[in-house]
């Protein structure tokens, strides 16, 4: 029996926690995707900062196929070569000495927060358990990570939530000074708030966070789930500064579209976990690890990373140009190929409408909250796709402006 499935079917069979756009893409290649009718779309969304090498990159496809013919899964009762190799590769490229593998950003953060608590418990006793995080931050959707996250609406209805979490305004050094104490076990930050609207941490705030954490013997956790793996023009965003965290979460781009996440940390911190402290059936899965090693190898090159910075400048320059023709944005912000376009006050709350119009015009875009349109394309998006995508963006902005100004 063959059944017709379409976007309507989604609403019939899925738990209604998402509201996907109307198109159902069926195929992708590089920075273009196609739907069933053969309509083509330029992809400036990158699967929410995941598809760093575009769709179906031949080297990733080959790596996945080769590993699929060898070994899919063992569990953590046995280790496997791809996992050890990936851990080595991550440690060689970052501050970290040790790695824990998981399957999603939320899980990497969950492990980070648990490790921070365990570390404080082991060295200082049970009183040191407070986690400080920032308003509007996003760390995932498990109960612990929504509780640490700074968007109260994600906790609503799920109470009681874990205790011992404080929130401060992002980039507010004074507020951090007032909140932190000997009871603090960790401060967690996104170097650029992604879901919160593409807002960069100031270098001063990062520096202050590091110094205050050192002073109060708290751990500094960077959530680089969105900013990591080349997105900002360095392999990890913290590498733009001279500040290193004690723990870092990576996910999204790490597998280039294959689900995998990693929690990275220093030796001292890692030793607060022991056998049985934490775990995951799929964490360190050979398929995921083989693909992620290839992603790192292809992204962590001077050419690709320099290309991200060049593409950033080009995008901003062109966006400013098309914004003069159809002025709908008040600001362009972000780093590398994580770009936020903030809607002017008169278009408040209309970001989703803009990306719907973009879809009708053959362009995939993202929102970051209600007022920001987000671009997170492949880091190797070809110049021609950028130009064509920007033309479609320009058309989208014109239609968006006309339809809102006219109403």
Active site residues: 138, 223, 252
Out of 30, 46, 47, 105, the only residue in the binding site for ligand PLP (CB under 6 A) is: 105
Binding mask 111-150 for ligand PLP (x = CB under 6 A): ---------------------------xxx----------
Residue 37: CB minimum distance to ligand PLP, A:
30
Q: Residue 150 is encoded by which pair of tokens? A: 């700074």
Q: Who's near 44: CB < 8 A, 6+ residues apart? A: 31, 363, 364, 365, 366, 375, 376, 377, 389, 393
Binding residue (CB under 6 A) for ligand PLP from 110, 190, 246, 385:
190
CA distance 222 to 168: 16
Q: What 3-state DSSP class applies to 326?
A: coil
Q: Does 225 bind ligand PLP (CB under 6 A)?
A: yes
Q: According to the binding rule CB under 6 A, does residue 245 interact with ligand PLP?
A: no
Name which position in 226, 323, 350, 361 contacts ligand PLP (CB under 6 A). 226
Among residues 43 and 190, whose Cβ is nearest to ligand PLP? 190
Q: Which residues, 6+ apart, have CB-to-CB distance to 190 below 8 Å? A: 134, 137, 138, 196, 201, 222, 223, 224, 226, 227
Closest to 54 in 3D by CA, of 378, 405, 407, 385: 378
Tokens representing residue 147 in the block: 């509780």
Q: Is 118 exposed, middle or buried (0-12, 13-18, 19+ CB in 10 A)?
A: middle
Rounded to a whole number of angstroms, the minimum distance from the CB of residue 185 to ligand PLP is: 19
Query: Least separation, in Å, of the C-beta of 264 and ligand PLP?
Result: 14
User: Is residue 141 classed exposed, middle or buried when 0-12, 13-18 and 19+ CB atoms within 10 A define those classes?
Assistant: middle
Q: For ligand PLP, which stretch binds (CB under 6 A), given 4-12, 56-64, 190-198, 265-273?
A: 190-198
Instruction: Among 30, 54, 194, 334, indicate the residue that binds ligand PLP (CB under 6 A).
Output: 194
375 beta partners:
339
- Of 8-16, 102-110, 318-326, 352-360, which segment contacts ligand PLP by CB under 6 A? 102-110
Would you count residue 231 as binding ligand PLP (CB under 6 A)? no
Say if residues 269 and 219 touch (Cβ distance below 8 Å): yes
Nearer to ligand PLP by C-beta: 30 or 334?
334
Q: Is beta strand 338-343 parallel, antiparallel or unpaired with respect to 329-335?
A: antiparallel
Binding interface with ligand PLP (CB under 6 A): 104-106, 109, 138-140, 190, 194-195, 223, 225-226, 251-252
């Amino acid at each position: 029996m063959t059944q017709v499935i379409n976007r309507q079917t989604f609403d019939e069979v899925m738990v209604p926690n998402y509201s996907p756009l109307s198109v159902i893409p069926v195929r992708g290649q590089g920075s273009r995707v196609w739907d069933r009718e053969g309509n083509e779309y330029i992809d400036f969304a990158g699967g929410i900062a995941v598809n760093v090498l575009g769709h179906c990159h031949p080297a990733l496809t080959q790596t996945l196929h080769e590993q699929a013919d060898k070994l899919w899964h063992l569990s953590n009762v046995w280790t496997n070569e791809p996992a050890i190799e990936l851990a080595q590769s991550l440690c060689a490229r970052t501050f970290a000495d040790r790695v824990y593998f998981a399957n999603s950003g939320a899980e990497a953060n969950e492990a980070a927060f648990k490790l921070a608590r365990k570390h404080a418990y082991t060295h200082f006793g049970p009183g040191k358990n407070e986690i400080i995080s920032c308003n509007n931050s996003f760390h995932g959707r498990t109960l612990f990570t929504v509780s640490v996250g700074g968007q109260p609406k994600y906790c609503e209805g799920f109470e009681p939530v874990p205790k011992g979490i404080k929130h401060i305004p992002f980039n507010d050094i004074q507020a951090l000074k007032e909140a932190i104490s000997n009871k603090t076990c960790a401060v967690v930050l996104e170097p650029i708030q992604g879901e919160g609207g593409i807002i960069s941490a100031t270098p001063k705030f990062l520096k202050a966070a590091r110094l205050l954490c050192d002073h109060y013997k708290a751990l500094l956790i960077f959530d680089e789930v969105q900013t990591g793996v080349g997105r900002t023009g360095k392999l990890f965003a913290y590498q733009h500064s001279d500040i290193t965290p004690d723990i870092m979460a990576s996910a999204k781009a790490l597998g280039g579209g294959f689900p995998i996440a990693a929690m990275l940390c220093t030796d001292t911190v890692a030793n607060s976990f022991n056998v049985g402290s934490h775990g995951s059936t799929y964490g360190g899965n050979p398929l995921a690890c083989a693909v992620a090693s290839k992603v790192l190898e292809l992204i962590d090159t001077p050419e690709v990373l320099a290309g991200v910075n060049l593409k950033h400048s080009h995008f901003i320059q062109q966006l400013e140009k098309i914004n003069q023709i159809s002025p709908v944005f008040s600001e362009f912000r972000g780093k590398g190929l994580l770009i936020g376009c903030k809607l002017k006050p008169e278009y408040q709350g209309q970001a989703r409408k803009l990306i719907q119009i973009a879809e009708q015009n053959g362009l995939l875009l993202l929102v970051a909250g209600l007022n920001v349109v987000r671009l997170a394309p492949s880091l190797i998006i070809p110049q021609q796709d950028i130009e064509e995508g920007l033309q479609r963006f320009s058309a989208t902005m014109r239609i968006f402006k006309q339809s809102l100004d006219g109403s």
